[in-house]
Amino acid sequence: MNKGEIRKQMKQELSQLSEAKREEMSKSIYNKLFSSSLWREADTIGITIAMPFEINTKPIIKKAWDEQKQVLVPKCIPSKRILDYYELTDFNQLETVYYNLQEPNVHKAKKNSADACSLLFVPGLAFNIEGYRIGFGGGYFDRLLASYKGGPTIALAYKLQIISNIPHSSFDMRVNHILTEDSNIMSCK
């Protein structure tokens, strides 16, 4: 399958998960994440606001705030196809933009750099154990990761999102770690 077919299939499979199943799997992921050394050692996290079919990231953000971690959230700049990161201290700093994405309102949040992250969460629709991913098709995170100088990168995924064959090229960037509901954090080689 090509990337477009994999995206379509994953979106369909993710949309078929019941809310109860999604919540159960997410809680398992949260527990593993919060007990990990990657989490404990991070003082600044970079994380997206999840779409409804993704693992809900708001509990992660709340936990980070509870632990006095700095939270940086990306804003897409479509004209340049890049991400700018902003410090989020309250969910009221978000605005809904195209495709119903929630992103920082630049008038309410302070701009920062992704390189300030000691742990960067990278979204995606599908992953393999080598850390290659299929994102949403814009190349935003591949561009970011190509020059990223911050701490480790991690993807949170449901087990069904881990597949054996991810088509990739030299432009596609890997994540360092993947965490699913039924595995400990996997280091990607």
Contacts of 75 (CB under 8 A, 6+ apart): 83, 84, 85, 86, 103, 104, 106
Which pLDDT tens digit goes with each residue over 106-147?
A: 999 999 999 999 999 999 999 999 999 999 988 899 999 999
Q: What pLDDT, on a 0 to 100 scale, did the predictor assign at position 184?
A: 80
- Residues 183 and 173: their CA atoms lie apart, in Å, by 22
Which residue has better confidence, 184 or 24? 24
What's the longest Cα–Cα distance across the chain? 43
Give the pLDDT confidence of 150-167 residue by residue, as tens digits.
999 999 999 999 999 999
pLDDT at 189 over 70: no
Q: Which is more confident, 106 or 188?
A: 106
Strand partners, 133: 127
Specify whether the CB–CB gap between 94 and 103 falls below 8 A.
Answer: yes
- Entry pTM: 0.95
Q: Is the pLDDT of residue 48 over 80?
A: yes
> What's the rounded mean pLDDT across residues 16-38?
95
Question: What is the tally of structural domains in the chain?
Answer: 1
Tokens representing 181 are 């509901």
The 10s digit of each residue's pLDDT in 49-83 is 999 899 999 999 999 999 999 999 999 999 999 99
CATH code for the domain of 117: 3.40.50.10420
- Give the model's pLDDT for residue 188: 84
Nearest to 139 by CA among 48, 95, 49, 76: 76
Size of the chain in residues: 189
Which pLDDT value is given to residue 144?
95
Q: Which residues contact 48 (CB under 8 A, 6 or more apart)?
A: 57, 73, 74, 121, 123
Tokens of 136: 């949403």
What range does the domain containing 25 cover? 3-187
